[in-house]
Structure 1
Amino acid sequence: MIDISLTRVYELIIILYAFSVLLYFTDFLIHNRKVRTAAFWLLSIVWLLQTIFLLAKMIETGRFPILTIFEGLYFYSWVLISLSLLIYRLFRVEFIAFFTNVIGFFIMSLHTFTPIQATSSIEAEKLVSELLVIHITMAILSYGAFSISFVLSSLYLIQYNLLKKKKWGKRLLRIEDLSKLDSLSFVLNVIGIPLLLLSLLLGLIWANIKIPDFYWYDTKVIGSFLVLIFYSVYMYVRVKKEIYGKSIAIWNVALFLLVLINFFLFGSLSNFHFWDS
C-alpha cells in the first residue's frame, strides 16, 4: 500500500513537472512573463517535493539514497532541477530551465515508470560503504555539470544561428550573449571534469577492495575513462589552443551524447555495476 501511495506521489510530481516544462515551452514561443513565472514556481514545487522525499529516504534507509539506478535517476533529476534553478537565479540565463528540464523530465519519467527499483537494492545494501556513496555522488554531480554545460552550448548554437540569419526578435534578445554562454559552459566543464576524475579514482579503489572479480576492461570503466579523456581534450583545446565559438560548442554537445551513452548503454553492459543494471 505504501509503495502504491509513493508511486501516486511520484506521478503527481511528473504531472507538475510536465506542466512546468510545457509552460516554459510556451514562454519560449510567445515570451510571456506570467507564464514564465508560473513555470518557475511549478518547478520550485517539484524541487521541494523531490527534496522532501530525498530527505525522507535518507532518514528511512540511514544512508544517502543513490546505490541503485532507481535512486540514482531520482538524484540525477534533483541535481538538474537544483542547478537550473540556481543558475537562473544567479545569472538570469533565459531558457536554461526549459532546456535543462526537458532532460530532467525524461530522467524523472524513467525513474517513475521503469519497474527496476527493486532489482538491485538488496545487493546494494550488502555493498554499501562511505567510499561507494562518495563515488556515486560525485559521478552524478559531474553528470549534472556536463548536462547544464550541454544546455548552455545548445543555447549558444541557437543564438549563433539566429545572429547569422539576422533573425532579430524577442527570442534573440532573451538568450544571453554568446560570450556569457560560452564562459558559463566552460566553467561547468571545469567543475565536472575533476569531479568525474575523483569519482573514478574512488570507484576503482572501492571496486578493488569490495569486488573480487573486478575487471579493468569492464564496459562502464572504459566508457567512464573515455568520457574523462574526451572532456580533457576539450579542455586542452579550449585553453591551450584558444579555440572558442561554434566549433567548441558543437564539440561540447557531442561530448554530452557520449555521457548519455556511458550512463545508459555502457552501464547496462557492465559486469559489476549493479547500480546501473
Structure 2
Amino acid sequence: MTNVWMTRLHEFTVVLYALSVLLYFFDFLQHNRKANRIAFWLLVFVWVLQTGFLIFYMFQTGRFPVLTISEGLYFYAWILVTFSLGINRFLRVDFIVFFTNLLAFFVMAIHAFAPMEYHSQVMAKQLVSELLFIHITMAILSYGAFSLSFVFSLLYLIQYDLLKRKKWGTRLIRIADLNSLERLSYILAIIGVPMLLLSLILGLQWALLKLPGMPWYDIKIVGSFLLLTAYSIYLYLRTVKNLTGKKLALWNVGSFLIVLINFFLFGQLSTFHLWYS
C-alpha cells in the first residue's frame, strides 16, 4: 500500500514539475513575470516534496539513496533543482531555472516511469560501503556542476546569436551578459572536474578492494575518463590558451553530451556498474 501511495506521489510531483517547466517556457517566449513567479513557487514545492522523499527513503533504508540506478537518477534531479534554485536566489540569472529544470524534468520522468529494478536493491545492500557511497555521491555532484555549466554555455550561445542578429528586446536584456555567462560556466566546470577526479580515484580504490577481477577496459570506466579528459581540455583552453567566446561554449556543450552518454548509456552497458549510473 505504501509503495502504491509513493508511486502516485511521485507521479504527482512529475505533473507539478511539468507545469512549472511549461510556465517557465511561457515566460521565456512571452516575458510574463506572473508566469515566472508561479513557476518558481511550483518548483519550490517540487523541491520540498523531493527532499521529503529523500529523507523518507533514508529512514526506510538506513542509508543515503544513491546506490541504484533509480536512486542515482532521483538524486541527480534533486541536485539540479537545488543548484538552480540557489543560483536563481543569489545571482538572479533569468532563464537559468528554466533550462536547468528542463533537463531535471527529463531525468525525473525517466525515474518515475522506468520499470522497477528487481535485482539492484539486493545488490545495493551487499555493496554498501563508505568508499562506494562517497564515490557515487561525488560523481553525481560533479554531473550536477557540469549540467549547470552546460546551461550557462547554452544561454551564452543564445545571447551570442541574439546579439549577432541584432535582435534587441526583453529576452536579450533578461539573459545575463556574455562575460557573466562564460565566467559562471567556467567556475562550475572548475568545481566539477576535481570532484569527478576524486570520485574516479575513490571508485578505482573501491574496485581494487571489492572487485579484484574487474575488467579495466569496462565501458563505464573508459567513458568516465573520456568525460574527465573533455572537461580538462575545456579548462586548459580557457586557462592556458585563453580561449573564450562561442568556440569555448560549443566545446562545453559537446562535453556535456558525454555526461549524458556516460550517465544514461554507458552505465547500462557496463559489466559491473549495474546498480547505478
**1:200-253 residue CA offsets vs partner (Å, 9 max, x unmatched):** 000000111111321111100010001001111111111000000110000000
Residues 150, 252 of structure 1: 8 Å contact kept: yes
Is 2:207 the partner of 1:207? Answer: yes
Match of 1:55 in 2: 55
Is 2:219 the partner of 1:219? Answer: yes
Residues 220, 270 of structure 2: 8 Å contact kept: yes
Match of 1:22 in 2: 22
**1:43-83 residue CA offsets vs partner (Å, 9 max, x unmatched):** 00000000011011111111110000010000000000000
Match of 1:244 in 2: 244
Residues 264, 276 of structure 1: 8 Å contact kept: no
CA distance, structure 2, for counterparts of residue 275 and residue 40 of structure 1:
33
Residues 120, 274 of structure 1: 8 Å contact kept: yes
Q: Matches of residues 58-73 of structure 1 in structure 2 within 5 Å?
A: 58-73=58-73
Match of 2:167 in 1: 167
Residues 50, 78 of structure 1: 8 Å contact kept: yes
Residues 27, 36 of structure 1: 8 Å contact kept: yes
The number of residues matched between the two structures is 277
CA distance, structure 2, for counterparts of residue 65 and residue 265 of structure 1:
21
CA distance, structure 1, for counterparts of residue 29 and residue 237 of structure 2:
35
Match of 2:108 in 1: 108
Greater shift after overlay, 118-127 or 186-195?
118-127
**1:8-42 residue CA offsets vs partner (Å, 9 max, x unmatched):** 00000001000000000000011111110000000
Match of 2:79 in 1: 79
Query: Aligned partner of 1:32: which letter?
Result: N
RMSD: 0.9
Shift of 1:99: 0.4
Identify if the C-alpha distance between structure 1 residues 75 and 126 changes in structure 2 by more than 3 Å, giving closer, same or farther: same
CA distance, structure 2, for counterparts of residue 117 and residue 110 of structure 1:
13
Is 2:162 the partner of 1:180? Answer: no
**1:100-141 residue CA offsets vs partner (Å, 9 max, x unmatched):** 011100100010100133331101110111111100000000
Residues 123, 275 of structure 2: 8 Å contact kept: no
Match of 1:273 in 2: 273
CA distance, structure 1, for counterparts of residue 160 and residue 116 of structure 2:
41
CA distance, structure 2, for counterparts of residue 114 and residue 235 of structure 1:
36
Residues 67, 276 of structure 2: 8 Å contact kept: no
Query: Aligned partner of 2:233: which letter?
Result: V
CA distance, structure 2, for counterparts of residue 94 and residue 23 of structure 1:
14
Greater shift after overlay, 260-269 or 171-180?
260-269
Residues 66, 276 of structure 2: 8 Å contact kept: no
Give the TM-score normalised by structure 1: 0.98
Structure 2: any 5+ residue segments left out of the alignment? none
Match of 1:134 in 2: 134
CA distance, structure 2, for counterparts of residue 118 and residue 203 of structure 1:
24
Match of 2:255 in 1: 255
Residues 162, 172 of structure 1: 8 Å contact kept: yes
Residues 124, 274 of structure 1: 8 Å contact kept: no
Query: Aligned partner of 1:76: which letter?
Result: Y
Identical residues among aligned pairs (%): 61
Query: Aligned partner of 1:235: which letter?
Result: L
Is 2:11 the partner of 1:11? Answer: yes
Query: Aligned partner of 2:4: which letter?
Result: I
CA distance, structure 1, for counterparts of residue 118 and residue 248 of structure 2:
41
Match of 1:232 in 2: 232
Give the TM-score normalised by structure 2: 0.98
Shift of 1:4: 1.0
